[in-house]
């Protein structure tokens, strides 16, 4: 790392209430671990109090990557800064991305073929930002090798030269060099790949990250430097006042705390609109008749089990036969798959459709070996994210922009930043603040200082730091690794909150769900980092809802009871939080569409299968009532020596109870069996229970048949 880029901040003297307290900046000093800021963050009520009392240089609307980046850039210039987000930080598009930090291989192709210098610059800038992110948040981002399968011989030199160009443009920022693979080697590294027609492959490197955590880390770093950061605070209108020349200028915003409903005005010399797909709604608060600049377009992702991709190799086809992009990438121990976006309506709660999910599954099938059955039931979660595709408001034909993003200043001084991509949030923020400082004549004490500025958790982090967590706290290795790679050097503060397990090993750290390394302490820590709702925790603070909807729902009761302790929730509030979170996983994380689509599956079972399943059904239907009740399920589980909570019992029932009458009728059971046969449902606990009951019934039957004649009491 070049010494000139080492601009780390020293903590100390970080004041509450948004008072800028950049105590000292260390230029050219690599000893940044000493500078690790340690103070707890101001509480949310302290942040809200500051929002009411202070007058800010800059108020940023929107707590996605772009808004958080603007807040950090602003405070790094010594400006008094506030940021408000109507939901949680990263609740919008920024938590729903493909998780790639990339320069854009496809843009480079365009730049070369069209000799387009602007496209070239855009790729170059994004590659710089990619490298910067790997440096400022090494605990959250890492290089990922991505394979491009090649199906025609002549494409090998064509793709290879393109990818080599990508390395060359990156220059000193190149993560690792790309290389060509023979067909055999490609299959060795990506054994799931379809072999026929494959000629070889090219592997190149991009970055990958945990997008929501990265977003939160940016917002928290701004808070560390003295910015007022407030989630669940919505801007309901803009306020204006006349300047010295009698011109109406934006002078702040009226905001509402979405938790309490309280409204007040925040005063600021400059307001930045960084609301992503909602950019036009804020522009309309400024001027009623504005040319819309945002054309929303939605991209859907699905999550599949780990066995769909190797642990550390992604696959991407940048131009399928019909011109789309298809990718599947390992992420957090599972596989993310998706494809190109389609136009959509803008909404705060985008949800994937069954057609989107089926389309991705269909595409994946054509890349994977025919012996891998791509099953609908393997989809663990699915989400939709809205991309703000922007155009220039000053061009009447709503032409799209070369640089993908726009910084626009309205007549009344509202600064809007929209479009772009995650990877370039920092350079976009820098451009925005340059415009804001100039337009609003802000008293910046320096230019942007975010290039090379370490994010929350990065200061003392090393890849082997997790070993200390295991040794010092008695955490499981998998848990310690997860904490280290999420919170960086803050993982020690998280571990301190971990409850004793009561077991010999691990000593502390109760898992919230047995399949994931998330622990109790993270929920308590999340509250200290401004998590306010159960959805904040399952979706952004832990990535459970994105990884596995079923597991997220199962972990909810434990999460809510910890949050209830921390936030003093009443019984009613806990119920409300549970209902909200269940709604979220069902509607936004794809659980509902799975349910709806499988309820429509035709019962395509053979006569023998049906008669076998009727026997299985009857084995659970204890007293031959014609339906299976909750008591039958409870009895079945007891027979297997399992004690089970009421919530879990209802979950098992819900797997099969289509008409939601609390009973399982034969047609519902046969429908479940048809879904299992078609691959639409996997791992049904209800069926496992029924199978066990059938086995027991058959064993009893066999015993009855085996009574010898001499013990039968005679009679012959």
Ligand X SMILES: Cc1cc2nc3c(=O)[nH]c(=O)nc-3n(C[C@H](O)[C@H](O)[C@H](O)COP(=O)(O)OP(=O)(O)OC[C@H]3O[C@@H](n4cnc5c(N)ncnc54)[C@H](O)[C@@H]3O)c2cc1C
Instruction: Summarize as ranges the residues that interact with ligand X (CB under 6 A).
Output: 61-67, 84-87, 91-94, 97-100, 102, 234-235, 274-278, 299, 341, 385-387, 420-423
Shortest reach from residue 446's CB to ligand X, in Å: 24
Tokens of 413: 């001084």
DSSP string, 304-323: E-GGGS-TT-EEEESS-TTS
Phi, psi of 344 (to 5 degrees): -155, 175
Judged by beta carbon, residue 88 or residue 687, the one nearer ligand X is 88
Shortest reach from residue 66's CB to ligand X, in Å: 3
Judged by beta carbon, residue 41 or residue 278, the one nearer ligand X is 278
Shortest reach from residue 594's CB to ligand X, in Å: 20
Shortest reach from residue 684's CB to ligand X, in Å: 30
Task: Return d(Cα 636, Cα 693) in angstroms, integer.
Answer: 7
Shortest reach from residue 569's CB to ligand X, in Å: 23
Judged by beta carbon, residue 42 or residue 338, the one nearer ligand X is 338
Q: Which helix (H) or strand (E) holds 60?
A: strand 55-61
Task: Return d(Cα 292, Cα 281) in angstroms, integer.
Answer: 9
Shortest reach from residue 427's CB to ligand X, in Å: 12
Helices (H) and strands (E) in the chain, counts: 24, 24
Nearest CA to 388 out of 597, 96, 162 is that of 96
Burial of 3 (0-12, 13-18, 19+ CB in 10 A): exposed
Task: Return d(Cα 144, Cα 102) in angstroms, integer.
Answer: 10
Q: Which helix (H) or strand (E) holds 169?
A: helix 155-170
Task: Return d(Cα 91, Cα 65) in angstroms, integer.
Answer: 10
Q: Which helix (H) or strand (E) holds 638?
A: helix 630-639
Shortest reach from residue 309's CB to ligand X, in Å: 16
The answer to whether 469 and 488 are in contact (CB under 8 A) is no
Judged by beta carbon, residue 350 or residue 509, the one nearer ligand X is 350
Judged by beta carbon, residue 64 or residue 314, the one nearer ligand X is 64
Shortest reach from residue 226's CB to ligand X, in Å: 21
DSSP string, 354-423: HHHHHHHHHHHHTTB-TTS---GGG--EEEEEEEEEEB-TTSTT-PBPTTSEEEEE-TT--EEEEE--GG
Task: Return d(Cα 697, Cα 691) in angstroms, integer.
Answer: 10
CB half-sphere exposure, 713, CA atoms < 13 A:
0
Burial of 154 (0-12, 13-18, 19+ CB in 10 A): exposed
Shortest reach from residue 302's CB to ligand X, in Å: 12
Show Cβ contacts of residue 5 under 8 Å, excluding neighbours closer than 6 positions.
451, 452
Judged by beta carbon, residue 431 or residue 632, the one nearer ligand X is 431
Judged by beta carbon, residue 74 or residue 98, the one nearer ligand X is 98
The answer to whether 434 and 58 are in contact (CB under 8 A) is no
Judged by beta carbon, residue 277 or residue 636, the one nearer ligand X is 277
Shortest reach from residue 253's CB to ligand X, in Å: 8
Judged by beta carbon, residue 279 or residue 694, the one nearer ligand X is 279
Measured in whole angstroms, how far is the alpha carbon of residue 637 from the centre of its chain?
35
DSSP string, 603-618: ----HHHHHHHHHHHH
Shortest reach from residue 439's CB to ligand X, in Å: 20
Shortest reach from residue 286's CB to ligand X, in Å: 12
Judged by beta carbon, residue 104 or residue 517, the one nearer ligand X is 104
Judged by beta carbon, residue 91 or residue 694, the one nearer ligand X is 91
Task: Return d(Cα 244, Cα 545) in angstroms, integer.
Answer: 51
Judged by beta carbon, residue 99 or residue 213, the one nearer ligand X is 99
């Amino acid at each position: 790392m070049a010494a000139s880029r080492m601009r780390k901040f020293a903590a100390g003297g970080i004041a509450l209430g948004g008072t800028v307290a950049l105590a000292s900046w260390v230029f050219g000093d690599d000893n940044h671990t000493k500078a690790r800021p340690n103070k707890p963050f101001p509480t949310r009520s302290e942040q809200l109090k500051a929002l009411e009392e202070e007058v800010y240089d800059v108020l940023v609307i929107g707590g996605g990557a772009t808004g958080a980046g603007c807040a950090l850039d602003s405070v790094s210039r010594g400006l008094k800064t506030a940021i408000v987000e109507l939901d949680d930080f990263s609740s919008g598009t920024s938590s729903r991305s493909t998780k790639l930090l990339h320069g854009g291989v496809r843009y480079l192709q365009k730049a070369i073929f069209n000799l387009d210098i602007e496209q070239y610059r855009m790729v170059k800038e994004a590659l710089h930002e990619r490298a910067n992110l790997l440096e400022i948040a090494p605990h959250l981002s890492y290089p990922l090798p991505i394979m491009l399968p090649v199906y025609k011989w002549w494409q090998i030199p064509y793709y290879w030269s393109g990818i080599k160009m990508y390395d060359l443009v990156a220059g000193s920022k190149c993560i690792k060099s790309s290389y060509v693979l023979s067909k055999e080697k490609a299959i060795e590294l990506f054994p799931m790949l379809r072999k026929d027609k494959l000629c070889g492959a090219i592997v190149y490197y991009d970055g990958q990250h945990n997008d929501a955590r990265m977003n939160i880390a940016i917002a928290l770093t701004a808070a560390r430097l003295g910015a007022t950061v407030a989630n669940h605070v919505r801007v309901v209108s803009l306020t204006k006042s006349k300047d010295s020349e009698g011109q109406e200028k934006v002078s702040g915003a009226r905001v509402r705390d979405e938790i309490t409903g309280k409204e007040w005005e925040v005063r600021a010399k400059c307001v930045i609109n960084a609301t992503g797909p909602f950019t036009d709604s804020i522009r309309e608060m400024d001027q009623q008749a504005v040319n819309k600049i945002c054309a929303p377009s939605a991209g859907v992702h699905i999550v599949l089990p780990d066995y769909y991709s190797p642990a550390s190799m992604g696959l991407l086809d940048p131009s399928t036969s019909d011109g789309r992009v298809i990718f599947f990438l390992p992420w957090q121990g599972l596989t993310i798959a998706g494809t190109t976006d389609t136009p959509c309506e803008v909404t705060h709660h985008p949800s994937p459709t069954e057609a989107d999910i089926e389309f991705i599954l269909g595409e994946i099938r054509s890349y994977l070996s025919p012996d891998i059955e791509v099953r609908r039931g393997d989809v663990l979660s699915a989400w939709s994210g809205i991309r703000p595709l922007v155009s220039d408001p000053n061009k009447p034909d709503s032409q799209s922009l070369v640089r993908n993003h726009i910084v626009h200043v309205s007549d009344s001084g509202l600064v809007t930043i929209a479009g772009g991509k995650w990877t370039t949030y920092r350079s976009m923020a820098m451009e925005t603040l340059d415009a804001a400082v100039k337009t609003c004549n802000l008293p910046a004490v320096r230019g942007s200082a975010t290039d090379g500025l370490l994010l929350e958790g990065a200061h003392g982090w090393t890849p082997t730091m997790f070993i200390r967590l295991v040794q010092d706290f008695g955490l499981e290795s998998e848990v310690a690794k997860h904490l280290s790679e999420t919170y960086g050097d803050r993982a020690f503060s998280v571990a301190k909150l971990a409850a004793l397990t009561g077991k010999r090993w691990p000593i502390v750290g109760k898992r919230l769900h047995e399949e994931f390394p998330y622990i109790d302490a993270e929920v308590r820590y999340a509250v200290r980092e401004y998590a306010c709702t159960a959805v904040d925790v399952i979706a952004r603070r832990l990535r459970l809802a994105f990884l596995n909807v079923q597991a997220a729902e199962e972990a909810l009761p434990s999460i809510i009871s910890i949050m209830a302790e921390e936030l003093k929730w009443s019984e009613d509030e806990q119920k409300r939080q549970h209902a909200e979170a269940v709604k979220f996983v069902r509607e936004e994380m794809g659980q509902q569409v799975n349910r709806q689509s499988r309820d429509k599956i035709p019962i395509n079972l053979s006569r023998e299968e049906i008669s076998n399943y009727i026997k299985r059904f009857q084995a659970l239907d204890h007293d031959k009532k014609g339906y299976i009740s909750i008591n039958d399920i409870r009895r079945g589980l007891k027979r297997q020596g399992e004690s089970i909570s009421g919530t879990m019992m209802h979950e098992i029932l819900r797997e099969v109870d289509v008409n939601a009458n609390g009973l399982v009728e034969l047609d519902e059971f046969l429908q479940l069996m048809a879904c299992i046969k078609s691959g639409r449902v996997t791992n049904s606990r209800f069926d496992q229970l029924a199978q066990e009951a059938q086995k027991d019934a058959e064993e009893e039957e066999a015993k009855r048949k085996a009574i010898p004649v001499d013990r039968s009491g005679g009679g012959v």
